[in-house]
Amino acid sequence: MSPQQSTDNLFSLQSHILAEESRHPGASGDFSWIISAISLAGKAIAHRVRRARLESVLGEHGTSNVQGESQQEMDVISNEILMRCLGTRASIAVLASEEDQEPTILRRGKDGGKYCVLFDPLDGSSTLDTNGAVGTIFTVLRNDSDVADAEATVCQPGSRQLAAGYILYGPSTAFVITTGNGVDLFELDPFVGSFILVKRSLRIPERKKVYSVNEAYTDSFPAGYSSYLAWAHANGYSSRYIGSLVGDIHRILLTGGVFMYPPTTSHPTGKLRLLYEANPIGMIVEQAGGRCLSGLESTLDIVPTKLHQRVPLIVGSSGEVDAVRAHFKTPADTMP
């Protein structure tokens, strides 16, 4: 049976986590507990997302996040669910969220804090009121107990992520995860109440003539991106863009293509956040055989300086990312 096909057995995310843990003799089980907590939060958020209109929790919360963006009701609810599920895990030192200005320190290294968990609780939430696909994006880092400052502790390059994943709340609830040993896809079976393995060792197609970018900002794109788009238009490419990162990335992971969020006038360093959006997405895509760039450099090599730092993003099929990169003759081609 090819690794792309589902296994004959009914294999839950919990079983998968424990099987992975057994591959690491001496593993304490702490890491498995963290993924289990994220799975629990995903089920709870999925339930609230599906009932959001019935429970009148769509629309704005009336506050803004640290980015100055208005928070949606469901952003706040999803953030609280993740905090409540992860806050009980004794091995977590630091939690950091797109929705909170500062990281939350749960415990120091000397008190058992081994891991840091960062997340965007509900990416794309502004599309919820029109029933759009939204997602939770997460990443797990090792806690550097020698670093006192919480923000400095989580400012690690993406190449040091221990695990990364997302939960896509669409027609079905998909859970995609990598722990550095390939990418696996699970689907929530509401009748069983578990995420069930449906694809093991996902591989992203090397080529696909589809690009994903908000072309409304074309006039402010750097020259290299504009040159690529002109080339793509002349070479039979089509466009798909739903304005929700997890939805666009899931399509690309399964069928190929390239996603771009270039620097724009309103976001001269790009809109997407490095630590809890670009890095986890980049790890997943590269673990599936794809590529992830921020301009000329590999996203996962960037050394972060701020928790909410933004970067430009070009991510997807290796051949399609290379096709974009070919239009960057000099660094100036990647800058506004």
Q: Which residues bind ligand P6P (CB under 6 A)?
A: 123-124, 126, 214, 243-245, 271
Per the DSSP assignment, residues forming a β-bridge with 94 are: 105, 116
Residue 214 or 298: the one with the smaller Cβ distance to ligand P6P is 214
Q: Would the CA dihedral through 118, 244, 271, 285 be positive or negative?
A: positive
Task: Compute the least distance from the CB of residue 123 to ligand P6P, in Å.
Answer: 5
Residue 113 or 158: the one with the smaller Cβ distance to ligand P6P is 158
Q: How far apart are CA 40 and CA 93, in angstroms?
A: 19
Residues 143, 145, 148: CA angle, nearest 5 degrees: 110
Strands 272-273, 310-311: pairing is antiparallel
Residue 92 or 314: the one with the smaller Cβ distance to ligand P6P is 314
Task: Compute the least distance from the CB of residue 249 to ligand P6P, in Å.
Answer: 8
Task: Compute the least distance from the CB of residue 196 to ligand P6P, in Å.
Answer: 26
Residue 194 or 244: the one with the smaller Cβ distance to ligand P6P is 244
| CA-based nearest residue to 67, from 233, 231, 286, 267 | 267
Per the DSSP assignment, residues forming a β-bridge with 116 are: 94, 141
Task: Compute the least distance from the CB of residue 38 to ligand P6P, in Å.
Answer: 19
Residue 75 or 320: the one with the smaller Cβ distance to ligand P6P is 75
Q: How far apart are CA 7 and CA 198, in angstroms?
A: 7
Task: Compute the least distance from the CB of residue 209 to ligand P6P, in Å.
Answer: 20
